[in-house]
Every structure is written in C-alpha cells, then in structure tokens.
C-alpha cells in the first residue's frame, strides 16, 4: 500500500464511561466528536465523510443536527460488538477509495442496568431454552472459561489476576467507570455469579462514547505530529465449530473462534508478527475471555497465559501490556463505543499521551481485538 | 407423552427419556434440537436421530442468581441449579445437571434423566431433560 493511501488516526475524543444516568447517548457522542475534532485541529465542516455506530442509543447520523448541517455523507452501522470495527473499516474504505480526505468515526451506546436479555425466538431458539434457565450470557462465559482452564491447565486464580490488573489500570484512568483497586483474594471471594466467575470478573453494560478523526497520506502528517497508522483492520464472522453464546449443542471439539481468523488476517495484512506488539487491547467481557483471547489472537500460546499474568508481563510496565485503560472490566461495555475505546487507548499509548497509565519506552506497534455475539470479531493493528 | 414436558419436539421418548436430535446424511453432523438443514454442508435434509443417553460432563457451572423472566422457577423460592455441556460423543449437548455440587467435575459420567422445571397453568409439574451422575458409568 502506498503512503498516499495509508489511513491514519489524527485525533481522538472520549466521553467518560460509566452509568452516566443523566446524559443521553447523543450528548456523549457529540462531546466525543468535538473533542476528537479539537484534537485533530479540525472543524466539523472540514470532515468529508462520517460513520457512526450505536446498538441501542439511537441513529448516529442525526448527530449532524448538533454538529452542523454540512451535507456530509454519514453512514450508520450496527454490528453488535463489532460495531466500532465496522464503523472504522467503513470510514477507512471510503478514504482509500478517494471519497474524502478526512473522516470522522463515532461510536456510542447506553444500556439499561442488567441489559442484554433477549427473547429466545430472536436467536432462533424455542421458549424452553429460556424458561428452563439456560439462556444467560454469564453462563456461557463461565462454561467456556471452565473448559478452557481445564484443557490448558490454568488455575482459577488467574481469573482474579486478570480482574485485579484491569481494576488497577482503571483506577489510574480518569475516563474509566470502575476506579477502585481490589486485591485478588477479594475478587476470588466476590459474590459468585456463575462459578468459576465472580461478580468482579464480569464487565457490566454501561454508557460511553468515543470518536476518531482519520486522514490519509500527507494530510495526516500535516494535521498531526505523530499520526497513528491503521496498518490493518479485519472483521470476521464465525465458522462452523465455533463455541458461541446460546448454543443448545456444540460440535465435538469445538474450536474455531472468529477471533482466530480476524487476528490472523490483521497481522498478515499489516506484515507484523504478534510478538512485535508493544501494547494490546483484547476483549475482556469477563476475566476468562481475556485469557482465551490472548491465545486466540496469537499474542501468546494456549496455556502460557498464567506464566505471563503471574510474571507481570501483561502489566503496563511488562513485556506485553494488556488492557492498559482497564478494559471492559473497568470501563463497562457500551457496545457501540467499546471497540473504538480500545483504538482510542492504543492511539494514545503509541503517542505516549495515555490518560491513565502510560506504557514506557515509546511503544510503536499496537493491537486491538473485540469479540461478541453472535460470533463476530474485529481486530486492528496500529503503528507509529 | 406420559408427563408434561417443556417442548415435545425435544424428546424422542420420555419413559425412558430420549432426546430427539438430527443427523446429516452428508457430513454426519449431529444437532440438538432437530433441525431441517445442515449447518455445516449443503447436502440437504437432516434425518431424525435419537441421541445417546450416556456421556460425560464437558463443562459446568452453577446458576447462582435467579434469571429474569421468561425463566420460570419451580417452587416458592429460587434455588441455584447446575448447568453444563455433556459430551455424548457425536454431539455436545447443553443441559441442566441434576448432580450434587460437590460431585460436579469435568469428565463425570452422566446419564439422561427428567427433572421438574416449573409448574404449568393447571399446577402440574412441567418436566425438562437433565443429566445426573451415572453410577455405572465409571467403566466408560
Ligand atoms: Zn452436513
């Protein structure tokens, strides 16, 4: 790919994540957009293409009412947990196709307390699946985690190590929702939800918004001292044999997560090896998910996670800093904003201006990964 | 059917209980519940296939908090229950586990049974399938 066609992130903005009871989705999104524009040194009328994603908080393109009726093309996307990735891939594609020289991407959401409950029929399942108490996302995460720990000889304590690190990073991040550190023992002793997972090992639905400003080629370098190159972005859906939520049956030896495909494609496209990653964000809907995804994305070998976690490799100062802003565990998961939060954090890390804990030593290669129902994954490789 | 069940389509029989799955004549994929077309290959129509009634626990957890409706509990108060996946060889099936908590483990031999799930409109017990510890199963 020529330099002229390279897509860069030249500005980022974020609205604090949390319950945000008194702020609606559009207001959060508007603030994130204005912050991202200011960060890029641009005005809304400079933006030639816009993409917005929200799962439940409204139609993103109506933001033009607040930002200005400039006539800009504004595409709405809604892809579940991959909404942020889908928004980013859409905007980057438009820039590469020469539709515009600058683009804005925004993701926002606001979910009710204890959201994500769905009627069985919407998943093509009979009522029996819900009435008999099997249609719960938390059960799925627990069942998948227990099997994974068993197969790879990882002790349950590793789940607490993940959550403790997330909360530790969250405590230092002014944009995070959960900002209180907890010792591992307290996490292990937390109210059981679905063992082996306790309450502190799960993220919660929340509210938040993130916006990014993109530009191509030389324009990016004019706008930003240290633009972050979108080296690759891959989006994948599940294949046969993937262990997904709300599955009354599985094929023997299920194992083909869309995360494996999305990550491999992103690294291949970027020409980067997973071992070259200096800072990573992986989907941590629960502690077990992070452990599973570290290996599915190729960042480590299956079974190697406990050594990495115990040895501090995934800490901010470690060899492979993971979820440096506290991840979903500390930020909650406003679906439309969550994937872009990861990109926001990695961009700031690569520019050595993290809002929370900063990875030392000028990191140069970053990676993000989202995974969600119904079996979708999006990964990016970012570089300076 | 001699007992009320949550969905008759799940069962090939209830005394003794048998689960009604389907099998693809093209690629041998087995599903539960029954479905019309194969999720794996384009070979066409799935055939009825009664699932094995013995297997081993593949994973398990306990539902510690009461799920929101449409979940229906059996008695006055919510009682936590075990849920898991059971490896039947040809397919892995998600199921309630009628196994005491201290005995729950991956690899535990289990056998198909029926448990009361909730009370129907007329007050009779509505049953669902479950797997319980298979006392003869250690030879597996
Ligand atoms: Zn088939």
The mean pLDDT of A333-355, rounded to a whole number, is: 96
Helix (H), strand (E) at residue A305: helix A305-310
Q: Which of B19, B25, B16 is nearest to B88 (CA)?
A: B19
Question: Residue A16's pLDDT is what?
Answer: 97
Does residue B140 lie within any of the structural domains? Answer: no
The two three-digit tokens of residue A207, written as one number: 């509210």
> Could you write out the DSSP letters of every residue in B57-83?
EEEEEEE-SPPPTT---SSSS---EEE
The answer to whether A175 touches A17, Cβ cutoff 8 Å, is yes
Q: According to the model, what pLDDT value does residue A114 have? A: 56
Alpha-carbon gap, residue A291 to B88, rounded angstroms: 27
Is A150 within 8 Å of chain B by CB?
yes
Average pLDDT over residues A355-371: 97
**CB–CB of A245/A210 below 8 Å?**
no
Closest Cα of chain B to A284: distance in Å? 19
Q: What residues make up the domain containing B101?
A: 8-133
Distance B25 CA to ligand 1 centre (A): 7
Q: How many CB pairs under 8 A join A and B?
A: 109
Q: Degrees (nearest 5) of the Cα angle A247, A282, A109?
A: 75
Does domain A7-111+207-223 bear CATH number 3.90.75.20? no
Indicate if the pLDDT at residue B140 is higher than 50.
no
Question: Per this entry, what is the length of chain A?
Answer: 384
* pLDDT tens column, A273-295: 999 999 999 999 999 999 999 99
| Option in B40, B94, B96 nearest A249 (CB) | B94
Tens digit of pLDDT for each residue in B64-116?
999 999 999 998 999 999 999 999 999 999 999 999 999 999 999 999 999 99
pLDDT more than 90, % of chain A? 88
pLDDT for the residue A101: 94
Kindly tell me the burial class for residue A311, based on how many C-beta atoms sit within 10 Å of its own C-beta (0-12, 13-18, 19 or more). exposed
Question: How high is the pLDDT of residue A113?
Answer: 64
pLDDT of residue A82: 86
Nearest CA in chain A to B30: A251
Residue B44 CA, chain-centre distance (Å), reads 26
B136 to chain A, minimum CA–CA distance in Å?
24
Per the document, the length of chain B is: 140
Phi, psi of B55 (to 5 degrees): -165, -165
Sequence ranges of chain A with CATH classification 3.40.47.10: 7-111+207-223, 131-204+231-383
Distances (CA, A) of A291 to A22, A61, A108, A149, A374: 35, 36, 26, 9, 20
pLDDT in tens, A141-167: 999 999 999 999 999 999 999 999 999
Provide, as residue numbers in chain A, all residues whose Cβ is less than 8 Å from the Cβ of B71: 130-133, 135
Question: Residue B49 forms beta bridges with which residues?
Answer: B21
pLDDT, chain A, mean: 94
pLDDT of the residue at A117: 58
Token digits for A204?
């919660």
B residues 71-110 lying closer than 8 A (beta carbon) to A: 71-72, 81, 83-85, 87, 89-94, 96, 106
| Contact status of A193 with chain B (Cβ, < 8 Å) | yes
pLDDT band at A1 (very low <50, low <70, confident <90, very high): very low
Specify if B71 maps to a domain. yes
pTM summary value: 0.95
Is B125 within the bounds of a domain?
yes
pLDDT of residue B101: 94
pLDDT digits (tens, 9 = 90+) for A182-235: 999 999 999 999 999 999 999 988 999 999 999 998 889 999 999 999 999 999
Contact B64 A134 (CB under 8 A): no
B90 assigned to some structural domain: yes
Looking at residues A98-126, what average pLDDT do you find?
83
| Residue in A119, A136, A249 closest to B91 by CB | A249
Q: Structural domain tally of chain B?
A: 1
Residue B138 has pLDDT above 60, yes or no: no
Which of B83, B92, B118 lies at the smallest CB-CB distance from A134? B83
Question: What is the distance of C-alpha B26 from the center of its chain?
Answer: 25
A369: pLDDT strictly greater than 70: yes
Estimate the share of chain B in helix, then strand, then coil, as percent rounded to the nearest 5.
5, 45, 50
Distance from C-alpha of A103 to C-alpha of A49, rounded to nearest angstrom = 5
Gap from A153 CA to chain B (nearest CA, Å): 13
Query: What's the pLDDT tens digit per position in B34-49?
Result: 999 999 998 878 999 9
Domain A131-204+231-383 has CATH 3.40.47.10: yes
């Amino acid at each position: 790919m020529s330099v002229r066609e390279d897509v860069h992130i030249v500005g980022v903005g974020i609205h604090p994540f949390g319950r945000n009871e008194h702020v609606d989705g559009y207001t959060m999104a508007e603030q994130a957009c204005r912050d991202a524009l200011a960060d890029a040194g641009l005005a809304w009328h400079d933006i030639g293409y816009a993409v917005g994603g929200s799962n439940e908080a409204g139609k993103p393109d109506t933001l033009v009412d607040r930002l200005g009726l400039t006539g800009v093309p504004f595409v709405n996307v809604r892809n579940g947990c991959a909404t942020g990735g889908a928004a980013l891939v859409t905007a980057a594609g438009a820039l590469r196709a020469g539709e515009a020289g600058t683009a804005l991407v925004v993701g926002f959401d606001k979910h009710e307390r204890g959201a994500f409950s769905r009627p069985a029929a919407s998943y093509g399942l009979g009522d029996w699946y819900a009435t008999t108490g099997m249609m719960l996302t938390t059960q799925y995460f627990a069942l998948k985690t227990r099997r994974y720990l068993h197969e790879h000889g990882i002790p349950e304590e590793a789940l607490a190590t993940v959550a403790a690190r997330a909360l530790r990073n969250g405590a230092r991040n002014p944009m995070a929702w959960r900002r209180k550190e907890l010792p591992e023992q307290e996490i292990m002793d937390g109210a059981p939800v679905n063992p082996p997972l306790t309450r502190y090992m799960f993220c919660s639905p929340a509210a938040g918004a993130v916006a990014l400003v993109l530009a191509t080629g030389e324009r990016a370098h004019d706008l930003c001292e240290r633009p972050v190159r979108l080296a690759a972005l891959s989006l994948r859906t599940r294949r046969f044999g993937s262990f997904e939520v709300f599955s009354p049956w599985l094929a023997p030896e299920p194992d083909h997560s869309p995360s494996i495909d999305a990550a491999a494609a992103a690294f291949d496209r970027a020409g980067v090896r997973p071992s070259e990653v200096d800072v990573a964000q992986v989907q941590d809907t629960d502690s077990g998910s992070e452990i599973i995804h570290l290996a599915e994305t190729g960042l480590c070998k299956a079974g190697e996670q406990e050594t990495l976690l115990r040895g501090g490799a995934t800490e901010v100062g470690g060899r492979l800093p993971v979820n440096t802003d506290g991840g979903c565990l500390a930020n909650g998961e406003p679906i439309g904003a969550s994937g872009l939060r990861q990109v926001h954090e990695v961009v700031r890390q690569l520019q050595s201006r993290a809002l929370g804990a900063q990875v030392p030593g000028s990191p140069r290669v970053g990676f993000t990964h989202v995974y969600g129902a119904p079996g979708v994954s999006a990964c990016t490789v970012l570089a300076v | 059917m001699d007992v009320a069940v949550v969905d008759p389509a799940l069962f090939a029989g209830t005394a003794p209980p048998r689960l009604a799955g389907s099998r693809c004549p093209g690629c041998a994929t087995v599903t539960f519940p029954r479905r019309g077309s194969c999720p794996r290959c384009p070979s066409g129509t799935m055939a009825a296939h009664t699932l094995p009634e013995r297997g081993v626990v593949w994973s398990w957890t306990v539902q510690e908090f009461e799920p929101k409706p449409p979940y229906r509990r059996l008695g006055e108060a919510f009682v936590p229950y075990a849920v898991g996946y059971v490896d039947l060889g040809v397919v892995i099936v998600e199921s309630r586990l009628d196994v005491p908590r201290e005995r729950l483990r991956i690899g535990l031999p289990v056998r198909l049974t029926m448990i009361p799930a909730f009370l129907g409109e007329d007050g009779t017990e509505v049953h669902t399938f479950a797997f319980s510890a298979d006392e003869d199963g250690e030879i597996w």
